[in-house]
Amino acid sequence: MLEWKWWCVSGTNMASDPVDSLLDAVAGGKSIIVDRTVLHSAHMPDLVLHRDEEQKAVAQVLIPILKGSRPSNLLVYGKPGTGKTLVVRKVISQIQTRAADSKFPIHLVYSNAKDETTLGGLLVSLGKQLGMDQRRLPVTGLAIGEVFKRILEEVDGRGLNVVFVIDEIDHLAQLVGRTGKDILYQLTSANTRLDRGTLTIVGISNNLSFKENLDPRVISRLADEEAVFTTYTTEQIKKILEERVAAAFAPGAVEEPALNLCAALSGSEHGDARRAIDLLRIAGEIAERAGGGGGTDGQAVAVGHVREASKKMEEDKEMTVLQSYPLHEKLLILAIMRSEASSTGEVYSHYKSLCRDAAAGPLTQRRVTQMLSEIEMSGIVSGRVASRGVHGRTKKYRLTVSPQTVKKAFAEDLTLQGLL
Ligand SMILES: Nc1ncnc2c1ncn2[C@@H]1O[C@H](COP(=O)(O)OP(=O)(O)OP(=O)(O)O)[C@@H](O)[C@H]1O
Ligand SMILES: [Mg+2]
């Protein structure tokens, strides 16, 4: 109680209080980011740049629906952050607006396979967007086949013209593989079972290897038409960023060289607009924090903020990968950390001693060697083949991330706490 009183009456010190000066800066409207939502990945910009041809291609495939005939199925693919979701969502919302005056019912519905844990969940989400209620389509309790049958009955009964957009369809492909239920085949060939209405599938993916996991008949039906999105050039990314800067930041709050660096770091290697926008947002937050939230000239986003943001993004990515590993992979990473640049045999003996300390039964050397190659693929460790003279060759492993990052990532794992 006494403490509370002291805290409340210490008004004379207000100006130097860190929380107060932050709050003062916000209240004074001096924050350099004026509209944060524009920098959020789900934000739909008014202007879609450099994608006229792709927008036309997607629209052209879907246009027959406005005339009451069935569009072809469409597969949209390209690397991450190339505007696939943005373009498809924009086109379907524009067609839906036109469809409002149509004489026959048209529904274009969107769903993301990554947000669903089951095939049934995805179908229920699509069915709900057609207006099917809880009674017709309960969230649980129906077999997938039944859910699908009810959706078809709905389409048929009301003579609906439906486009199902399934974003990140590669995730659905994984579920299909696991359950053995070939829902994609049924979906892509649904029209043969409809007397009235139509059902078209638009699949979006940044991972083309999913094609290999599916029945070729499904692929050929799904990819009646294909739209390929290429990566953006550094110049194109710069223009996209300029639009965001104008909408999100206070005037003059981002220095030109900082913007160029954001574009270059995301453009040259990846051509990924999402990465560029994330980088800009994080750099903006760092600049804001460095300036205590103020927006005077000295605190504009500068090259140094972008470099720091890039480092942070890289570290965050590494942290996520590290934290996602099961216990034995983590122990193995610690073993490599302890035995810098060691052969498989040396790593294995460090691993066994860590297992003892963690009271975990060690896996066989054969299994551990296999795990090492898997971890190597993720880029967290690198292996270099070294000659051992007459004894042949061996692989030497070392960490590619800093030991600090590993320690930070594993800090919350109780089993490992004594070992870091
Ligand atoms: N041409 C563009 N003009 C303006 N903003 C864009 C453009 N292309 C992409 N963006 C923005 O970049 C981000 C990524 O775009 P989008 O989500 O469409 O990529 P994607 O191709 O679907 O990527 P993924 O395969 O990872 O899902 C979004 O915030 C989007 O608004
Ligand atoms: Mg997407």
226 contacts 75 by C-beta, under 8 angstroms: yes
Q: Which conformational region is residue 81 in: left (phi greater than 0), alpha (psi within -120 to 50 degrees), or beta?
A: left
Instruction: Please write the tens of the pLDDT for every residue from 218-259.
Output: 888 888 999 999 999 999 999 999 999 999 999 999 999 999
Amino acid occupying residue 387: S
379 contacts 400 by C-beta, under 8 angstroms: yes
Ligand 2 centroid from CA 87, angstroms: 9
Q: Which ligand is nearest to the CA of 41?
A: 1
Average pLDDT, the chain: 87
Sorted by sequence, the CB contacts under 8 Å of residue 150 that are 6+ apart come out as: 127, 132, 136, 137, 142
Sole residue written with tokens 């800066």: 25
Reading the block at residue 231, the tokens are: 């990566």
The count of other CB atoms within 10 Å of the CB of residue 3 is 7
Q: Give the residue ranges of DSSP H helices in 195-233.
A: 216-222
The pTM score is 0.83
Of 17-21, 73-77, 213-217, 290-294, the range with the highest mean pLDDT is: 73-77
**pLDDT (0 to 100) of residue 359:** 92
Under DSSP, is residue 155 helix (H, G, I), strand (E, B) or coil?
helix
**pLDDT (0 to 100) of residue 348:** 94
Q: Ligand 1, residues 43, 88, 274, 280: which to mutate, most atoms within 8 A of Cβ?
A: 274
Per-residue b/e over 189-204, b at no fewer than 16 CB within 10 Å? ebeeebeebbbbbbbb
Give the side-chain half-sphere CA count within 13 A for 10: 12
CATH for the 233-321 domain, from 1.20.1440.230, 3.90.1300.10, 3.30.70.20, 1.10.8.60: 1.10.8.60
Q: Which ligand is nearest to the CA of 77?
A: 1
Ligand 2 centroid from CA 274, angstroms: 10
**pLDDT (0 to 100) of residue 41:** 83
Name the residue at shortest CA distance from atom 8 of ligand 1: 83
Sorted by sequence, the CB contacts under 8 Å of residue 111 that are 6+ apart come out as: 122, 125, 126, 129, 164, 165, 166, 167
Closest CA to 237 of 104, 343, 79: 79
Reading the block at residue 22, the tokens are: 């932050």
Ligand 2 centroid from CA 170, angstroms: 11
- Residue 274 CB–ligand 1 contact under 6 Å: yes
Closest CA to 358 of 330, 338, 324: 330
- Topology of the domain covering 52-229: Rossmann fold (3.40.50)
Reading the block at residue 356, the tokens are: 């003892």
Percent of all residues in the chain with a pLDDT value above 70, rounded to a whole number: 90
The predicted model gives 123-152 an average pLDDT of: 91
Sole residue written with tokens 């952050």: 81
Which sign, positive or negative, has the C-alpha torsion 172, 176, 182, 183? negative
Chain centroid to CA 41: 9
Reading the block at residue 282, the tokens are: 């994080």
Does residue 10 register a pLDDT over 60?
no
Residues of each domain in the chain carrying CATH 3.40.50.300: 52-229
Q: Name the class of domain 325-419.
A: mainly alpha
Does residue 390 register a pLDDT over 80?
no
The predicted model gives 370-374 an average pLDDT of: 92
Ligand 1 centroid from CA 87, angstroms: 8
Q: Which ligand is nearest to the CA of 42?
A: 1
* Distance separating alpha carbons of residues 176 and 185, to the nearest angstrom: 10
Percent of all residues in the chain with a pLDDT value above 90, rounded to a whole number: 64
Ligand 2 centroid from CA 242, angstroms: 21
Residues of each domain in the chain carrying CATH 1.10.8.60: 233-321
